[in-house]
Each structure stands twice: as structure tokens, then as C-alpha cells.
Structure 1
Amino acid sequence: MAGTVPPKPPSPVTRPVATSNLQATEDLVVDQEDPPVAHQAVDIPFFELDTVRISADAGGTRPHTPSAFKERHTHQTIQTLDGLAGVSYQVNGASAESDPWLLRHCKFNDRGFLSFHQVHFRNAGGVPFDEKIPCHFLVSSDQLYESSKAQLLPPDPLNTHEQLNHIVPPECGQRLIVLFMKFIFPTLPIISRSHFGLAAAGTVPDQDILQRTPLCLLAAIYASAQPFAKFDDYLCLIDAYAPPPTDLLWRMVLDLLLRDIHTARLSTLQAGILYLHRPISATESAVADSAFTWSLVGMLVGVAMSLGLQLDCRLMGLPLWEKRIRRRLWWAIYAEDKWRCLLIGRPSYIGSDDWDATDLSDDDFVMSECLRLALQQPASSSHSSHDVLTAQPFQQLIQLSRIADELQRSLFTLKASQRLSPDFHATLEIARPLLQKLKEWYAHSPVSVRQPDHQPTTLDSIYCQSNCLRFACILLEVFVFRALLRPMVRSAAPPPLLEENFETTEFTNQFNDLLAQLFDAEEIEPSMAIDMSDENGMGNAVLRAADNCAAKVIRLVMRMTTSDLSSFWYRWSRVGFATVSNFLLLLLVQAPTKDHALRAKSLVDLWRQTLRNQSTGCPAMNLGLVRLDGSLWPGLARNYYLPKQVKEVLEE
């Protein structure tokens, strides 16, 4: 059969997963690296960008079936995952920060691997096909998690208050608790002020109370507050001449936590949640969370369920302070589950039919009246208003967490992804009410959230958390548009899977020749699955709204001040920054026209520069920068199959 076989890419070389001395039972095959390609930042104008109303008429839809493309590998060799020595792997879920619908455009080698420096993705093979969605695994060198493993091995048993007092003297511990209440409690109100005798802001707890506080919780509070020691005159001087024992405290917390699970109390859950939000170390900031983190979330959900926090406790015969902390703890672990399952693409541990706790109200944050009387604090309106204002960031987060749960269940569960990924119009019908709910949340949020330039003269720690809430809201918008972008481009058919000792036959060569004849140069890359010819049509409206969403998050991060960056951030926020990076890459890789590609490239370059500038003061952004640089420094064309118009823009 006549025909021209397309030129084959350079043969890959076989080398270890990482640059370290890694002995593998099977070698990973990665492509040779090309020289880095420079990218220049491009300034773009910013405007007030609200959620765009998508109301244009729907355009035509092309059949959405996997197609063969002649530049793709003609086969993928079957290779073990679990038999690879020196590496670990995690499945990349439908809503994971490394978007499977972005990875489907990657140039995997004939063993299904693609390397972004020390980050490696393995194409599962065989999908997408019919209703099966793209599936990839994140493969990481075990050496990247050595520091995390070390936390499981304390040098010596630390299990008494006397040992903790030797590490953190009580007079320092008192000051750390005051800092915790100022900088962390408004965002994570999971301890009882009544227990610590804290009737007003700035109140110092008695040392006798510290001795009665469960050791695991006390160590977690100390460690959580340590990054803010610079705001205390005395602690600032102490830390200036001797490094604080923060790492040792966290190792102590984890060791006690794993032991206390057998006799769990509320303090066990409190310490566990604080451990999940421990500050990011330099060795962890550019590395994805290990499987331990999601496993720990599941364990803590199990503790909460065992303690009955999922039940409405308002009518139970419990002290008021205990009811308040039980309700706040339930919603804290609920938020933990919902945000993390969305950001890493895992099924939620908490089912919608398994709890009946009611929404938080201002009454769940008031100070115990008996404590006020004991400390001779009058129950004035100023105290009440302070309590309510302190509660606002957490209440706002819980409302967003409810929306995040609905978004994950309706767009990103396995079944929802299988059903919706080829169906643009069905996805749009689900996306509309979700965007409306986010718009309503924003409209009813405090003035500090709605007006970024509004800075109150008091309660500055609460103001700083407004940026964290704004980022979380826009992040949910990003996920909605990610779902809308999935069905807009058709997927390539997966290469056939061959055994490693398979020899190419004459029939295989003839089949490749036939493919080369059937698909001309204009059809090498996946074509749009919806009609984009109408400038005012639905597809273009969605792309404009997605661009606006991307510009909005860039503007938010770009305008963050030093106070914003150094405030307390939920630890899962770092995965959110990486999610934004992959979203911007998706806009560029799938750009249907040169104009769209120019706009997307401007956004990518500006986001890259923003992360470089702001990550100095906020290590949570490092993962997002690594994800972006990993794709950009060798050049996008090396790692992705790009449409002609995108290649032209990148070459200009």
C-alpha cells in the first residue's frame, strides 16, 4: 500500500527517574531534554472582572469520539508501576491540580512516561475510550519524601509536659498561645477559649491551664504559632539567637497523635487538624503531598465520626462550651475533606447522607458567660461584636466548602466526569447555577472580601484572611471553567498496548501508512468538538469567561501585600496555586485561534512573573511556580502536542 510514513521523533534515552543514585527494577524511559526556551512577560490591562453571564445560543456540536493523530506514538509498551524501585506513585484524579484533560495533550514516550525535571507522569494507557476518562499517575522519587518520613521517627520519646516545658518554657508558651489566637484562631477556630481562660483578645493564659492541656494539642498550638513569633517583642529576641524548635515540635505532635488515636478525644482531632496545616518547609514547598496526607485526613474523619461530631448536638446534655467546640470541629474537618478531595482528585470521605450537623451561627463563637464573670469581664456589646467579627472568616470558608462539595459531586466524581467530559451542553447546565452561587457568596461576603483595598484599622489578622477567602472563591471558579473546557476539544485515541518483547509486523507498518494518508497536516492535532465559528456563540463566550477568571486570580495574587503573604494560609492553598498554573496552561494548549493563543500566552507569562515575585514571601506558591516552569523551560512544544496557531504564537 502506497503512502508516506511520518518522520519519527528522536529515539528516547533510558535514564533513572531522578538525578540521584536510584536503582530501579525497571528503567523509566524519558525524552531527551531540549534547551530551555525563553518567555517574556507581557503586560495586560486589568479591569473589574465579575463572573461572566454565559447566555449566548449554543453552537453546533461535533461528534466527540477519540481520534487517531499521526504524530502520536503508534503504541505504548506495557510496563509495571508497582515494580519500579526507588519511586512511589499516586493516581491523578479528575479534579487533581495536574489536570488529566491537560495531560491528555502531552507527548508521552512509547512507555507512557513524560518527565518535567523531577516530576514524572505515567499515562495509564488504554484510555480515554468510550466513557473512560484520561488516567495518569504522578511518579515521584522516594528521596523527595525523606524529610516527611523523618517526622515519623522522633529522636527520643517526647511524651511529658516536663519535656515540652524544656523545649518551650511556659512563659514562651503563654505568648505563643496569644499569637495563635490573633493570627490563626480567626481562620481556624478549633480550640476552646473557655478552656484556656481567654475572655478577651490578648489575654494571657495561666500556666496551670497549660499543664492541664493535653500534650498533643499544646505542642501543636506552639508549633503553629511559631512562624508569628516575630510579632512578639520577647519571642523575637529569643529566636534571633537560637532557631526555634518547630520541626521537633511537629515530630512530637505526630508521634503523640498516632498513639492517642487509640483513646481519641476532641484534643486528638484538634491537634490533627493543626498538623494538616503546619507551615510549609523549604524541602516540602515544591513537592506534591505524599499519600500520607490524604490518608491522615481519612483517619481524622474517622476520629470525628467516632466522637459523634457528625450528629446535631444542640439538644444533647452537654455544656455549652463543649457544644460550640464540637460544632466548630465538625465543620473544620468537613472543610478539610471537601477542599482536599477536590484539589487532589479523590473521593470524599464524608457522604451527604451521613451527617445532620446544622450550619454554624454567631452563637457558636460567643464567649462562655461563666468565664466572663469569673474574670470580671462584662458582657458588653463590644465583646459580642468582636466575637462575631472574629467568626466571619471561618463562617465564610464553610459556606464556600459547601459549594466546593456540590461542585465536586456534580462535575468531578468519576461517574460525573465520565458522563460530562464529552458533553459540553450538559456541563454548561450544571456550571451556570454553580457560578451563580459563587456570585451570591461574594455579594454577601464582608466588605474586606468584596473591597480588596479596604483595610480596617483593627483586627488586621482578620483582614489578611480575606485574601485567602477571595483566592478560594476564584479557585472554585477555575474548577468550573476547567470542567467546561474538557468537552471543547476531542481526545486522541489511546495508542495500542504492546508487550515489551512485541516485534513490529509488516501489518503494523501498513496500518501506520494508512493513518498517514487518512489524516493530513491540518488534522494532526485534536479538533474542536464544538462550533467556534460564531464570535458570539457559546464556545467563545465560555473561553472569554475563562480568560477573565484567569486574569482575576492573577490580579488578586499580584496585589497581595507583605502582610497578606505572611499571614496564615490553609496548607491546601498551595495545591490551589498549582491548579491555577495548570489551568492557564490548558487555556494556551487548547487555544482555538491565534487571538485566543496570544491572550492565553500573555496570561501565562504574567502569572509566571507574579509567582516569581510573590513566592519569596509565600512558600505556598512554590508548587505552582514549579508546575509552570516544568512545562515552560524546555518549551511547550517539547512536552505537548500543540495546534498550529499556538506554535506560531510561541515562535513569535
Structure 2
Amino acid sequence: MQNYRQARDDLPSPVSEIMTGYPRRLSVNANGSSEIPSSNLGKTMSPKIGPLFLNFLPPNWTDNSQIASARIQLFSGEGGSNRQDVSVVSLEAVENLVTPFGPTLLEKYFRHFHPTFPIIMEGGFRSSYKERNGISALLLGAMYLVGLKWLEPESGVQTLRPPDAIGLEALVCRNLNESLSRPGLATVQAGLLLSQKSSLFTPRLMAQLVTAGFDLGLHQDCSTWQIQCWEKGLRKRLAWALYMQDKWCALVHSRPSHIFASNWAVKDLTIDDFENTTRSAASAASSASITTLSSLSSHKFGCLFFRQFVKLTRILSDIIESFYTLEATQQLSASHENGTHIILSKAKPLQIQLKDWFSQLPAELKVDTDCGVEAGPSGGIHLAYFATEIMLHRCIVRSLSPDTADQYLTHICRSAAKTRLISAMEFVNRLRPIHLRAFWPAAAMSNFALIGAFGILLQTTAPTQEEEEFYRSRLREYRWTLSVSRRDAGFLDFAIDTLGEVTKLVRNQPQKPAFQEFMNHSFLYRPPDSGLINRLDCHSGVRLREQSMASSPISQQGDAYNGSDEYENLPGCTRMHSRSSLPDTKSGLMSPTASASSASTSRRR
């Protein structure tokens, strides 16, 4: 009984892990899964098995035993399991669905997808693929499925039997469901590849993958584990890939995230974690007949892309946690008229982080007109940046109320939101076929729709007819841009359809006052001694810097930071602004004249 109490009272660990003195490693998993790498924590959550008990097992112990809900699993010194693959799907079954395009699909995968989502050891996989030894049928099927996107007619698909995409997807999904009961690293790898397919990017799949990742200890710091360096790097990349997919899935589907900072010990990625992600130079030279990216440039771009996407996703996670959880929304709702000031105080550090992230973006990730083919996927990370900006400003705009919000504060907030919206639309307008045909993360489909939805939000909350018409015009232009771009990116149909459906919902909106009528109403009901529209609530501790509507960053070309600094200079309370610092009287909250100054766009393809 004393030993049972000792095991039960051990400090709980999110994943049960054991370190023994033997050359091999023994692991206890409270969830009944296998392939749990060990760490030096020496603790287990299982109430029936304590770390001390495993020290009495004989050195030649080879039996995988299960006691109630806990499984004892043997691991080799290299981090591998002695569990045999229980998959009922054979490599032949997978190959038969894509023959004779298997090698071509694999090349498409490593050329277009792998550099920006390096969750597989390319060199090792190619060797195993060539020898047809040690390959997971589940993982190979998922790689084939991803590669189908870039299978072009010149590959012979018109003269030969085309790959059975529907059958392959069904086979891989069925195999994944079977594998999730006893996951391995290949299970998470295949699941992450499937999650990049928009139709499979579901909360259910992500919940299963996060659970499998926790079973495998991917949320732990593996830097001190007795495994090889390449496996440490692979585990960290898998962990952060899982983190990113979980957070973006939360945004896309409006579901809670499954990963929390308090239960996440994975270290930041370094350049060393990306070693051996590409095939060796000798291997690349032997395949010179196949047109591929330069190994060096592809590797460098992939490292930068993946690491920067992780940093951006962590900012997105903070935004979701600060503004979009149930607790956060309840607190903001209870704050009533102070809600906007509270939101701005929380938004300030996040806005600074976003600006710093963008300003420190490597030149290789810029969306320039003269970019090389290796920079094609950079559009995905820029779109994610604008989606993150919009998530921040959408919360601010929603908090504004004509009855309680200070008019000057409203002007500043809506001006900033307008800047973000037009910057995002201009970014979409600058995309070329080289970007549109490249890899786009699964969340991109919803991120394009998010831009349109944000425009409709600003349109419906516009205080005047002129401002409403301005956004209506920009949304028509945005829809046209998407329609033209869909020839190279069919997934844009979702954004086009969503924009059309949401537009229908606001057709019966009450008519708004004209600009002059609105200004007259503002003068009539403005508080005594409040100046024009410059009264600022001093108790909020917020000082907003004036931004003239006449100036617009849209005229800037390329990738200059398109944000503004409204929320970055909020040191403390100051008295009223002088009238000389205010926008012209006729500018109002949204001057139609100033708005029109940035209304023109041109399609640069």
C-alpha cells in the first residue's frame, strides 16, 4: 500500500516518462499508447505503476505489458520501439492507386511542399523509398496525396490512368484512424500532412493529433534526452508544426485551442534543428535530371519560413487568449463603456510585437515582383500576418459604440482598421501566379475570406453613407481580384462564396446619414467644452497619437510595414489635444474625400 501511495503521489507529468540505468529505456504511458520517449523527469501519472517498480525488471525484458490503463513499452537506445507496425494497409495498396506517378508525386512533394513544412527527414526517406524498406504506408500515402496538387498534364496524366485521388484519400484517412489508437511519429507526420488539405483541416482531426503528440511527448523539452541530434530536431519541428496547426485551426473553426503555454516546454527552433531536412549533395547531384530547387536556397528559405511562421503563430495565440476565449469575452462584456480602453491597453504590446515581427522579416520572405521561384510560398506567411492583424483590430472595432465611445477614439480606431484592411487588399492585389500556385497553408482559404469579412464589418459599422459606399466599392474590387486569381488558386472560391453570402446578410441594413448630416448631429450632441471631436477620457490612461486620414501608406510599394502606430504610444493620461493637432473639421470620422484618395487599385500580375 505504501508503494501504491508513492506512485500515486509522484509529481504528475503531462506524459508519463521513465529513465532507467539500462542501455535501453522503459516508458509508462497512462493513455495506453506507445512510442513514448523518455526524459529525466522520472515521474508518472499512472496510479498503479511508479518509476521505482520498473527498476526491478530483468535486463532481458522484452514483453510489452499492460496494467489497467497504463502500458509498459520498451525503447531502444536510438529512440525506437520494438512494436511492430500493425497497419493493415500495404505499400502495394498505396502504390496501386497512383501508379505510375509515385516517384513523380514524391518529387513534387519535396519540391513544393517540404521546404516550407519540413516535418520529414528527406535524405532518410528517399533512401528507404528507394530500397522499399522501413517506409510507413500511411506516411507515403499522405505525401502522395499532398503532391497531387502539383501533378501537371505534362507528367503524362492525360495519356495514362490518372491517380485515384478519392480512393487514396479514403485509404489514408482510414489508415490514420487505425494508427491513432497506437500512434508513432509517422502517425503525427501523416496527420499533419492531411491537415494541410482544407477539407480535412477539422477540429476533430487536430484534437486527435494533439492527443497523439502528447502521447509521444512532443510537448516536452527533448534537449536532454538520450537520442540523436537529428531526432531532437525532428521532434521539435513536429512539435511546432502541431502547435501552428492547432492555433490556426482554432481561428478558422472558432474552437478552443488544445495547447496551452503552461503545458508546453518545447524550446525555440534554431538553425541546427533543420539539419538533415534535405537530401545530401551527392544524392541531389545523382537526380540532376529532375528540375528541383537549389538544395541550399530551398533549405535556407524553408528554415526562415518555418521559424517565422512559428513566431507569428505565437503572437496569434496571445491574441486569441487575450480577446477570443470565453473568459476574455465575458470580462470585456462586463466592462461596458470601458471595454474599448481595456482592449486597447491589451492590444498595445501585441501590436508592437506584430510590428517588430514584420520589420524583422528576412528579405528572402518578401513578396516582391522580382522574387525567385523559391520565394513563391512566401505569400502564405504574409497572408497569415494580415489575418493576425485583422483578428486584433476586429475586436477593437466590435467594441466601439456610437452611444458611449469617444468620437476621437472612434476616429483613431476606425482609421487604423481601415489602414489594415486596405493593406491586406493591396497585398492580395500584388500576388502573382508564382505565389498563387505555390504552397498555401490550410488556413489560407479562411484567411482570404477573413479579409472580406472584416471589410463588411467596417462597412456595416460605418457611420455615414459615404464611408459605407467606400467600403462597398473596395469590397467589389477585392471580389474581382479574387475572381481573377482563382485561375491559379482554386481554393479562393471559398472566399468568393463567403463574401457573397455575408453581403446578402447586410442588404437590409438601415440607411445611414449623409456625411454632413452626421457632422451636424455630432455638433448638436457633443458634450459641453469638449472641443470638436477631441475629448479623450483621461481616466483610461490611454493617449492615442493623431493620424491624419489624408495620408495613406498604400502608396508604398513592396513590403513596407503597412501598419500604423496608434496603439504603440500609450504611456499615460494626457490632457486634451490642442485643436491645431486635430484633423480638419470636414474630415469627420471618415472623410469621403480622404477615403477616396486611396480607392484606386491596379492589378499587377
Q: Could you state the TM-score of these two structures normalised by the residue count of structure 2? A: 0.65
Structure 1 residue 609: Cα displacement: 1.6
Amino acid aligned to 1:263: R
Q: Are positions 1:437 and 2:346 aligned together?
A: no
Amino acid aligned to 2:498: R
Contact 1:196 1:209 in 2 (8 A): no
Change (3 A) 1:219 1:211: farther
Match of 1:320 among 203, 212, 229: 229
CA distance in 1, matches of 2:400, 2:390: 16
Structure 1 residue 471: Cα displacement: 0.7
Change (3 A) 1:210 1:429: farther
Match of 2:94 among 155, 158, 164: 164
Aligned to 2:435: 564
CA distance in 1, matches of 2:439, 2:285: 32
Change (3 A) 1:612 1:376: closer
CA distance in 2, matches of 1:616, 1:529: 46
CA distance in 2, matches of 1:618, 1:645: 40
Match of 1:603 among 462, 474, 478: 474
Match of 2:405 among 530, 534, 540: 530
Contact 1:335 1:401 in 2 (8 A): yes
Aligned to 1:427: 343
Q: Deviation digits for residues 561-601 of structure 1, max 9, x if unmatched?
A: 12211111111111112222211111000002334223222
The count of corresponding residues between Structure 1 and Structure 2 is 421
CA distance in 2, matches of 1:267, 1:180: 16
Which secondary structure does the structure 2 equivalent of 1:317 belong to?
coil
Aligned to 2:426: 555
Aligned to 2:19: none
Structure 1 residue 255: Cα displacement: 0.4
Aligned to 1:541: 412
Q: Are positions 1:483 and 2:424 aligned together?
A: no
Matches within 5 A, 1:352-501: 352-367=261-276, 387-421=299-333, 422=336, 423-456=339-372, 460=373, 462-489=374-401
Amino acid aligned to 1:172: F
Match of 1:242 among 134, 158, 161: 161
Structure 1 residue 384: Cα displacement: 6.2
CA distance in 2, matches of 1:599, 1:369: 49
Contact 1:366 1:387 in 2 (8 A): no
Aligned to 2:215: 306
Aligned to 1:636: 506
Change (3 A) 1:478 1:323: same
Change (3 A) 1:385 1:602: closer
CA distance in 1, matches of 2:451, 2:298: 35
Contact 1:158 1:164 in 2 (8 A): no
Change (3 A) 1:370 1:193: closer
CA distance in 1, matches of 2:208, 2:278: 35
Which secondary structure does the structure 2 equivalent of 1:637 belong to?
coil
CA distance in 2, matches of 1:446, 1:641: 47
CA distance in 2, matches of 1:540, 1:617: 38
Aligned to 2:446: 575
Q: Percent identity?
A: 25
Matches within 5 A, 1:38-77: none
Q: Deviation digits for residues 431-479 of structure 1, max 9, x if unmatched?
A: 12212111111111121434522413xxx1x311111111110111111
CA distance in 2, matches of 1:425, 1:343: 27
Aligned to 1:624: 495
Aligned to 2:186: 267
Q: Deviation digits for residues 292-338 of structure 1, max 9, x if unmatched?
A: 81011001000000000111112111122211111100000000111
Change (3 A) 1:371 1:589: closer
Aligned to 2:149: 227
Amino acid aligned to 2:122: R
Change (3 A) 1:253 1:451: closer
Which secondary structure does the structure 2 equivalent of 1:213 belong to?
coil
Which secondary structure does the structure 2 equivalent of 1:347 belong to?
coil
Contact 1:301 1:349 in 2 (8 A): yes
Contact 1:194 1:321 in 2 (8 A): no
Aligned to 1:184: 113
CA distance in 2, matches of 1:549, 1:573: 17
Match of 2:175 among 251, 256, 262: 256
CA distance in 1, matches of 2:105, 2:389: 36
CA distance in 2, matches of 1:376, 1:184: 20
Change (3 A) 1:207 1:354: closer
Amino acid aligned to 2:456: L
Contact 1:269 1:304 in 2 (8 A): yes
Structure 1 residue 388: Cα displacement: 3.0
Amino acid aligned to 1:541: I
Structure 1 residue 614: Cα displacement: 1.7
Greater RCO, 1 or 2 (C-alpha within 8 Å, sep 6+): 1
CA distance in 1, matches of 2:476, 2:285: 58
Change (3 A) 1:578 1:385: closer
Amino acid aligned to 2:156: L
Q: Are positions 1:276 and 2:206 aligned together?
A: no
Structure 1 residue 404: Cα displacement: 0.6
Contact 1:158 1:252 in 2 (8 A): no
CA distance in 1, matches of 2:190, 2:360: 32
Q: Deviation digits for residues 156-202 of structure 1, max 9, x if unmatched?
A: x9711122222233x632222221111001221111123224xxxxx
Aligned to 1:212: 134
Aligned to 1:73: none
CA distance in 2, matches of 1:545, 1:225: 40
Larger Rg: 2
Contact 1:192 1:325 in 2 (8 A): yes
Q: Could you state the TM-score of these two structures normalised by the residue count of structure 1? A: 0.60
CA distance in 1, matches of 2:298, 2:369: 22
Which secondary structure does the structure 1 equivalent of 2:152 belong to?
helix
CA distance in 1, matches of 2:189, 2:214: 14
Structure 1 residue 206: Cα displacement: 6.1
Contact 2:220 2:264 in 1 (8 A): yes
CA distance in 1, matches of 2:391, 2:278: 43
Contact 2:121 2:277 in 1 (8 A): no
Structure 1 residue 623: Cα displacement: 1.9
Gaps of 5+ in 2: 1-86, 287-293, 519-591, 593-605
CA distance in 2, matches of 1:315, 1:354: 18
RMSD over aligned Cα, in angstroms?
2.9
Contact 2:128 2:134 in 1 (8 A): no
Matches within 5 A, 1:93-108: none
Which secondary structure does the structure 2 equivalent of 1:348 belong to?
coil
CA distance in 2, matches of 1:475, 1:529: 28
Contact 1:589 1:643 in 2 (8 A): no
Q: Deviation digits for residues 201-253 of structure 1, max 9, x if unmatched?
A: xxxx564444421000000001100111228x5xx213454332122111111
Matches within 5 A, 1:138-153: none
